[in-house]
Amino acid sequence: MISRRSIWSEGKLIPVLSIIGFIVIIWYGFSIVLNAPWEYDKAKRSSITLSNVELISNTWSQKRPKLPAPHQITNEIWDTTVNKKVTSKRSLVYHGLITFYETIYGFIFGTCLGILLAIGIVYNRATAMSVMPWIITSQTIPILAIAPMIVVALGSAGFNGLMPIAIISMYLSFFPVVVGMVKGLKSPDQLEIDQMKTWSASKFQVLHKLRAPRSMPFFFTSLKLGMAASLVGAIVGELPSGGGGGLGFRMLSGSTFGNTLHIWSGLISAAVLAGTLIAIIGGIQKVVLKRMSLEM
Amino acid sequence: MIYFWAAIIFWILAWIVNVWISRQKENRFFNIAPPVLFGMSILFIWESCVVTFNVSPVILPPPSAIYMKFMSSIPILWEDFVQTAIKGALSGYIIGCVAAFIVSLIADRFNFLERGLLPIGNFLAAMPIIGIAPILVMWYGYGWQSKAAVVAVMVFFPILVNTVQGLKMSDKIHRDLMQTYNASYFQTMIKLRLSTAMPFIFNGLKICTTLALIGAIVAEFFGSPIRGMGFRISTEAPRFALDMVWAEITVAAMAGSLFYGGVVLLEKWTTFWHPSQRGKI
C-alpha cells in the first residue's frame, strides 16, 4: 500500500497535476485581465455599468477574446471535431489529417535519408570528413524560416500538395536521425568488431548482425526527436500554401481574421498530435527493446 | 554542356582528393580541406546545372546571381539583420535563457516543483511551440518586441530541461565534501553544482541558437514593420525575386553559424576543464 507521505514525496502524477491546475487558474485570471478592457469599452458605449460577476462571465465568453479561457478552447475543439463532418473544411479533424500525412511522409523520407547518411558516414571516412561538417552547418541555417519560399518555388515547378511540405519536414527530421544513428552504429566496441572479423563476417554482416541491433536504443530516441521536428516543419510549411489546409493553415487564417479560438484550437491539436505520435514511437520502442532484451 | 561536365569532373577530382586526405594522418589543414572541397563542388554543380539546363531563376537562381544580389543590397540586408537577429532573436534569447535559468534554480531547490515541471517541460520542449507566434504577435504588436517574446518562449523549455538535468550531475560524494567544508547553499551552488552543470547548460544554449533565429524569422511572417529577414522573405518570394530571398538565406545562415560559433567559443572559454573540451584548441 502506498502511504500518504510517499505520494507527496515521490512520483510525478501529483506534482504534474498540481502545476497544471495552477497554470489553468493563472490562465483564467489572465483571460479576465486581458479581455476586460474590451468589455469595459463595450459597456461604456452602451452606457451600462457591469457588476464584477457579469464582467468576469463576459470575459470568459467573448467571441474573439484576446486570451480565450480554457473551457472556450475545449468547447471549440469539441465543436470542430465531433459536431462537424470530417470532410468539411471547418473540421479540425480534416486539417489535422492533412498535417498528419505531411508529417508522416516527411518523417519517413527523413528517417531513410538519415539512416543512409549515417551508414555512409560510419563506413567511409571520406564521407564522414567531407559531409559531416555540412550536415551540422545545415542545421544552423534556419530552414524553417525559408520553408515558405521552398513551398512557393516547388509549387511553381509543378510540385503541389503534400510533397513540398513533406520535403521541409524531411530536411528537419533527418538531422536527429543522422546524429543518433552515427552514435548508435559506432557504439559496438573494437573488441566486438574484431570478434566479427575472426568469424570472417563481411562488412554487410557486421552491419546487419552487430551494428544495426546495437544502434536500436539510439534509433528510437532519434525517431522521437525527428517526429517532433517533422511536425514543426509541416506546420510552418503550411503557412504560405494558401488554400491547402492543415493545422498551420488554420492558425494562419485564424491570425489574419483575428479569430483567436481557431489559433488556440489549432495549437492545442498540434500539441496533441505531436504527443500521440511520440507516444506511439515510445510504445514500439518498449516492445522492440524488450524483445531484443535491450531494455533501457 | 561543357560547364556541366567541368563541374562533374571537378566533383570527382575533389572526391578523390578527399579520399586521399582521409587516409592521411590527421592535422589541421586536412580537417578543414574536405568540407571546403565538398562545399565548393556542390556550388559548382549547382551553378552549372542552372546554366546548362536553363533552370528558370524563379525556381533556383545560380550562386553567382545570389552573390551579385548580396553584394548590391548589403545596406538592406544589414538593416534586416539588425531588426531580426539582434533586436528580435538575441534579446529574446537572453530573456528566455535568463528566465529559464532562474526557474530551473527554483525548481532544483524545491523537489516537488522539479518533479512537476520536468515532465511538463520535456513535453513542451517537443511541442510545435512556434505556433504561439500568431498569438504573441497579436498581443505585443508588429514590432521586434513580439519576436523577442516568441523567441523567449521557444528557448525557455530546452534550457530549463538541460539546466535542471545538469544541476543533478554533481556526485553525492562531492556534495558531501562541500558539506564537510561547511559550505552554504550558495557556495555549493556556485563552486560545485553550477560548474558541473555547465556542459549541460551549454548544450541547451547551443540547441537554442538556431531555435532563436527560426522563431524570430517565422514570427515576422505573422506581421512585422517593413524590415526584417522574415518580412523580406515573405514579400520577395511571392514576387519571385528569389535571388533576394537566397541572399537573405545566406545572411540567416551566416548569422546562425556566427551565433552558434559564439556560444561554442564561450563554452570553450568557460568549461576548458571538461573532458569533452580538453585537447582541442
Do residue A96 and residue A60 come from a single domain? no
The SS3 of residue A207 is helix
* B279 domain residue, yes or no: no
Do residue A98 and residue A19 come from a single domain? no
Which is it for the CA torsion A40, A46, A48, A52, positive or negative?
Answer: negative
Weakest-pLDDT range from A136-145, B146-155, B159-168, B246-255: A136-145
Confidence of residue B93 (pLDDT cuts 50, 70, 90): very high
* B281 domain residue, yes or no: no
Do residue B141 and residue B22 come from a single domain? no
**Looking at residue A295, what is its pLDDT?**
57
Q: What share of chain B is helix, strand, coil (3-state, %, to 5)?
A: 80, 0, 20
* Residue A53: CB atoms within 10 Å: 8
Determine the distance in angstroms separating the CA of B6 from the nearest CA of chain A, rounded to an integer. 20
Do residue B11 and residue B118 come from a single domain? no
Domain end residue (candidates: A33, A67, A101): A67
H or E element, residue A291 = helix A260-291
* A222 domain residue, yes or no: yes
- Specify the number of domains making up chain A: 2
* B227 domain residue, yes or no: yes
Per the structure, the complete domain to which residue B225 belongs is given by 72-270
Q: Which residues contact A134 (CB under 8 A, 6 or more apart)?
A: B35, B38, B39
* pLDDT tens sequence across B161-200: 888 888 888 888 888 898 899 988 888 888 888 888 888 8
Dist CA B92 CA B147 (whole Å)? 7
Confidence of residue B91 (pLDDT cuts 50, 70, 90): very high
Domain end residue (candidates: A51, A67, A83): A67
Dist CA B72 CA B92 (whole Å)? 30
Cα–Cα distances in Å, from B158 out to B100, B131, B166? 9, 16, 12
* Residue A293: CB atoms within 10 Å: 6
**Smallest CA–CA distance from B128 into chain A, residue:** A232
Do residue B121 and residue B231 come from a single domain? yes
Contacts B61 to A, Cβ<8 Å: none
Question: Is the Cβ–Cβ distance between B229 and B247 less than 8 Å?
Answer: no
Is the confidence at residue B279, as pLDDT, over 70? no
**Looking at residue A4, what is its pLDDT?**
52
* B231 domain residue, yes or no: yes
Weakest-pLDDT range from A93-97, A105-109, A132-136, B103-107: A132-136
Contacts B257 to A, Cβ<8 Å: 137, 140
Q: How many CB pairs below 8 Å do chains A and B form together?
A: 168
* A100 domain residue, yes or no: yes
* B166 domain residue, yes or no: yes
* B117 domain residue, yes or no: yes
Q: Which three cell numbers stand for residue B160?
A: 530549463
Do residue B130 and residue B250 come from a single domain? yes
Do residue B172 and residue B205 come from a single domain? yes
* Residue B173: CB atoms within 10 Å: 7
Do residue B250 and residue B185 come from a single domain? yes
3-state helix/strand/coil string of B37-97: HHHHHHHHHHHHHHHHCCCCCCCCCCHHHHHHHHHHCHHHHHHHHHHHHHHHHHHHHHHHH
* A97 domain residue, yes or no: yes
pTM > 0.90: no
Do residue A29 and residue A104 come from a single domain? no
Cα–Cα distances in Å, from A263 out to A240, A255, B135? 16, 7, 7
* Residue B38: CB atoms within 10 Å: 22
Chain A interface, mutation test: which of B42, B130, B276, most A Cβ atoms within 10 Å?
A: B130
Chain B interface, mutation test: which of A26, A92, A127, A140, most B Cβ atoms within 10 Å?
A: A140
Weakest-pLDDT range from A106-110, A240-244, B22-26, B107-111: A240-244
Confidence of residue A149 (pLDDT cuts 50, 70, 90): low
* A78 domain residue, yes or no: no
Is the confidence at residue A278, as pLDDT, over 80? yes
Among B38, B60, B114, beta carbon nearest to A134:
B38
- Specify the number of domains making up chain B: 2
Is the confidence at residue A134, as pLDDT, over 60? yes
Is the confidence at residue A109, as pLDDT, over 90? yes
The SS3 of residue B12 is helix
The SS3 of residue B273 is coil
A100-125 average pLDDT score: 90
CB burial readout B249-278, b (16+ within 10 A) else e: bbbbbebbbebbeebeeebeeebeeeeebe
* Residue A39: CB atoms within 10 Å: 18
Dist CA A21 CA A13 (whole Å)? 12
User: Residue A181: which CATH number?
Assistant: 1.10.3720.10
* A80 domain residue, yes or no: no
Do residue A33 and residue A173 come from a single domain? no
Do residue B216 and residue B264 come from a single domain? yes
Half-sphere exposure of B183 (CA within 13 A, CB side): 17
Do residue A110 and residue A178 come from a single domain? yes
State in Å, rounded, how far the first CA of chain A is from the last one: 27
Cross-chain Cβ contact A274/B128 below 8 Å: yes
Question: Is the Cβ–Cβ distance between B93 and B208 less than 8 Å?
Answer: yes
Question: Is the Cβ–Cβ distance between A227 and A281 less than 8 Å?
Answer: yes
* A76 domain residue, yes or no: no
* B66 domain residue, yes or no: no
Q: Which residues contact B54 (CB under 8 A, 6 or more apart)?
A: none
Cross-chain Cβ contact A129/B34 below 8 Å: yes
Do residue B87 and residue B224 come from a single domain? yes
Do residue A153 and residue A217 come from a single domain? yes
Determine the distance in angstroms separating the CA of A205 from the nearest CA of chain B, rounded to an integer. 24
**Looking at residue B278, what is its pLDDT?**
61
Confidence of residue A243 (pLDDT cuts 50, 70, 90): low
* A246 domain residue, yes or no: yes
Do residue B244 and residue B127 come from a single domain? yes
Determine the distance in angstroms separating the CA of B124 from the nearest CA of chain A, rounded to an integer. 8
B199-223 average pLDDT score: 84
Cross-chain Cβ contact A145/B260 below 8 Å: no
Please check whether residue B57 touches A, CB under 8 A. Answer: no
* pLDDT tens sequence across A63-76: 778 788 888 888 88
Do residue B21 and residue B149 come from a single domain? no
Please check whether residue B203 touches A, CB under 8 A. Answer: no
* pLDDT tens sequence across A30-86: 888 888 888 788 788 877 777 777 777 777 777 778 788 888 888 888 887 777 777
**Smallest CA–CA distance from A278 into chain B, residue:** B126
* B64 domain residue, yes or no: no
Among B59, B127, B252, beta carbon nearest to A142:
B252
Do residue B100 and residue B186 come from a single domain? yes
* A296 domain residue, yes or no: no
Cross-chain Cβ contact A140/B210 below 8 Å: yes
Question: What are the start-end ranges of the E strands in A163-231?
Answer: none
Per the structure, the complete domain to which residue A99 belongs is given by 92-291
Do residue A12 and residue A107 come from a single domain? no
**Smallest CA–CA distance from A147 into chain B, residue:** B218
Determine the distance in angstroms separating the CA of B69 from the nearest CA of chain A, rounded to an integer. 17
Q: Which three cell numbers stand for residue A82?
A: 465531433
Do residue B164 and residue B47 come from a single domain? no
Do residue A107 and residue A53 come from a single domain? no
User: Residue B85: which CATH number?
Assistant: 1.10.3720.10
Confidence of residue A148 (pLDDT cuts 50, 70, 90): low
Dist CA A12 CA B115 (whole Å)? 6
Cross-chain Cβ contact A142/B23 below 8 Å: no
